[in-house]
Amino acid sequence: MSSIEERRRLFAKYKEDVKTRGKPFFPNAMFHDTVMSLVVVSIIIGLAIIWHETANGTTAGLLGKEYDAKADSGTFSFVPRPDWYFYFLFYLLRIFKWPDSVILGTVGVPTICLVLLLAVPFVDKRTERRLSRRPVAIVASILVVISMGVLTWKGATATESLASENVKKVPTWIKRNKLPPAAVPGANLFAQIGCLNCHSYLGTGGGYSGAPDLSAEGSKGKGIAFQIAHLKNPASVNAGSPMPSFATLGDQRLHQLAVFLEASKGGK
Amino acid sequence: MAVARPPRSRRKQMEAIALYPLDWLEERSGLVGAVKYFLFRKVPGDTNWFQTLGSATLTAFLVQAITGVILAMYYTPDPNSAYESIKHITNDVTLGWLVRGMHRWGASVFIILMFFHMARVFLFGAYKYPRELNWIIGVLLLVLGMLEGFTGYLLPWDQTAYWATVVGINLNGTGPIIGPFLSSVLRGGSEIGPDTLARFYSIHMLVLPAAIMGLIGLHLYLVIRLGVTSPPWSKKAAGAPWIEEDEPEQPARKGLVEPTPRGGAAK
Ligand code: HEM
């Protein structure tokens, strides 16, 4: 850490050095800026063209679909997938255990990171700027790049669960979790309506939002009534739950799902 | 004053006519002087390509602003017609696909460039005294830029947009104390619907862009006032303590360069 007097003196020297040895912004630096800006605009136009040329409406091309089907709050075959630059945040949630410590993922870690980022110039008060003399800065930036990279990659490659694939798993679930016949309609529903886009069950599914594994949901002893109430309005029984409501499924199907969940005891 | 000057040659006369508007503007606003100052202010002689990342970010933001304005001419922020208006822009409007595509992918480029620019500032140690405030403004810009991404994502009103936002808002609600409040403010009720879309649209195209533009203005003011940092590895880095250490060598070299003092290159 350098004293404020030292830092002031060096900044005065900086101003002096620039005055005596500096170059005017125009034309040199401005030329570089202009070239770079043209490159940026070309890349943006290029991406727009590739997107449009290879995709066709809801048919995905190299850069994905131009648009998905129209929003429908009544369907459940959705994948709540954010834009790629939020993958690291979403994936962070899966590292924490639902529901006790998930707040660390939604609020805790991001807040700490933001505070640390804001604190950088107040923590590092040395005048040293050469990387070879800033080992802490080097290690910190490598760690940040690796963890952001890994989280983004994990988020990007997290498997999307397809209803048609999931439903093939139902027989295995029946065997491994010894599901009674009454639980089978619920299991089929569960496999197909999108629960597995967030939750995992005996190794299938699991998505972006850090929802808990449900293989052993039945051993918690919560009961059918709780399960139905929860599906209708998750936040009413689990304060602050981010899970969307499934009330539109109707009483009969909600009951089937509840029976299935209560019968799931996490077989080995 | 310019008018009072007696015209000498025809050339001089033409020049006076051409410069008259500039003189007029300068006398009344000082803007010509300001632009001159901006263009001809000295920057360290050793700035390099990494230092173009800031203006590249600015360019990406301007692309967003311009394409955004055009999209707003065709987009309708209403659940019944938002999706159709996006389809209309993509499929029917002349070059609509290009404008929408540029806005869509420009957002990603803008965010990547912010991270790259921040990395260069960090690795150059350019956040140090007296540039701490500009680092803080930068972090705010980063957060606001990501929020632009979040609010813009809902607008096409397709399944991806809708459900990502449902979960996004719900996650927001897990926050302590203000979490649930913030969620219901964002939603504009207990369900995602017309009010949510109108809110997101207004935040996306009025609130956040205004805040970002204001902060970019401050950011650039500070860049011009304080000057940009020399690359730390440069042998001629301005104001670098580690170069001072070799000062004894300087006088000799200085002697050789001295014959061309300020006058030459400086404008
Ligand atoms: C909308 C986003 C931003 C824009 C348009 C922008 C623009 C600029 C420009 C044009 C410069 C001049 C030097 C250069 O190009 O490198 C600059 C410098 C700077 N920026 Fe940014 N910036 C943005 C975001 C950020 C972020 C996210 C940070 C860091 C958290 C940051 C911190 C700084 C600092 C500390 C400087 C001074 C660098 C020096 O003295 O060398 N900026 N910015």
Predicted confidence (pLDDT) per residue in A140-176, tens digit = 999 999 999 999 998 887 766 667 678 888 999 999 8
Q: Please report which confidence band the pLDDT of residue B264 belongs to, taking 50, 70 and 90 as the band edges.
A: very low
Indicate whether B172 pLDDT > 90: no
Closest-CA distance of chain A to residue B257, Å: 11
Q: Please report which confidence band the pLDDT of residue B257 belongs to, taking 50, 70 and 90 as the band edges.
A: very low
CA–CA separation, A208 and A204 (whole Å): 14
Mean pLDDT value across residues B190-200: 91
Inter-chain residue contact B39 with A15, CB threshold 8 Å: no
**What would the two tokens of residue B227 be?**
């000057």
**What would the two tokens of residue B49 be?**
């390509």
Sequence-distant (≥ 6) Cβ neighbours of residue B167 within 8 angstroms: A80, A198, A208, A209, A242, A244
Confidence check on the interface: ipTM exceeds 0.90, yes or no: no
A26 contacts in chain B (CB < 8 Å): 39-40
Mean pLDDT value across residues B77-100: 97
Residue B74's pLDDT is what? 98
**Residue of minimum CA distance from atom 11 in ligand 1:** B54
Closest-CA distance of chain A to residue B57, Å: 8
Choosing among A52, A66, A208, A248, which should be mutated to test the B contact, i.e. which has the most B CBs within 10 A? Answer: A66
The answer to whether the beta carbons of residues B177 and B166 sit under 8 Å apart is: no
Residue A161's pLDDT is what? 62
Distances in Å between the Cα of B215 and the Cα atoms of B58, B140, B184, B220 are 12, 8, 27, 9
Inter-chain residue contact B40 with A25, CB threshold 8 Å: yes
**How many angstroms does the Cα of residue A35 sit away from the middle of ligand 1?**
18
Residue A74's pLDDT is what? 74
Q: Please, where are the H alpha helices in A55-108?
A: 87-95, 102-103
Q: Please report which confidence band the pLDDT of residue B106 belongs to, taking 50, 70 and 90 as the band edges.
A: very high
Does the domain at B49-226 match CATH 1.20.810.10? Answer given as: yes
Closest-CA distance of chain A to residue B11, Å: 27
A72-76: long-range contacts, CB 8 A cutoff, minimum separation 24:
A72/B159, A72/B162, A73/A248, A73/B162, A73/B191, A73/B192, A74/A248, A75/B159, A76/A193, A76/A194, A76/A195, A76/A246, A76/A249
> pTM of the predicted model, to two decimals?
0.85
- Tell how strand A200-201 and strand A204-205 pair up: antiparallel
Q: Count CB-CB contacts under 10 A for residue B181.
A: 11
**What would the two tokens of residue A264 be?**
């799931």
- pLDDT tens column, A35-48: 999 999 999 999 99
Residue B135's pLDDT is what? 98
Smallest Cα–Cα separation from B98: which of B87, B109, B90? B90
Closest-CA distance of chain B to residue A83, Å: 7
B180 contacts in chain A (CB < 8 Å): 240
- Residues of B (66-105) whose Cβ lies below 8 Å from A: 79, 83, 86-87, 90-91, 97-98, 100-102, 104-105
The answer to whether the beta carbons of residues B137 and B171 sit under 8 Å apart is: no
**What would the two tokens of residue B191 be?**
């369900």
Nearest-atom index, ligand 1, CA of B54: 15
Q: Given ligand 1 and candidates B50, B121, B139, B221, which is best to mutate, with the most ligand atoms within 8 Å of its CB? A: B121
CA–CA separation, A184 and A90 (whole Å): 32
Residues with CB under 6 A from ligand 1: B 51, 53-55, 57-58, 61, 114, 117-118, 121, 124, 126-127, 131, 134-135, 138-139, 141-142, 145, 216, 219, 223, 228-229
Residues of chain A with pLDDT under 50: none
Mean pLDDT value across residues B227-240: 92
Mean pLDDT value across residues B222-238: 94
B63 contacts in chain A (CB < 8 Å): 40-41, 44
* Contact status of B37 with chain A (Cβ, < 8 Å): no
A23 contacts in chain B (CB < 8 Å): 42-45, 265
Report the number of secondary-structure helices (H) and strands (E) in chain A. Answer: 12, 3
**How many angstroms does the Cα of residue A67 sit away from the middle of ligand 1?**
34
**What would the two tokens of residue A259 be?**
């029976």
B106 contacts in chain A (CB < 8 Å): 44
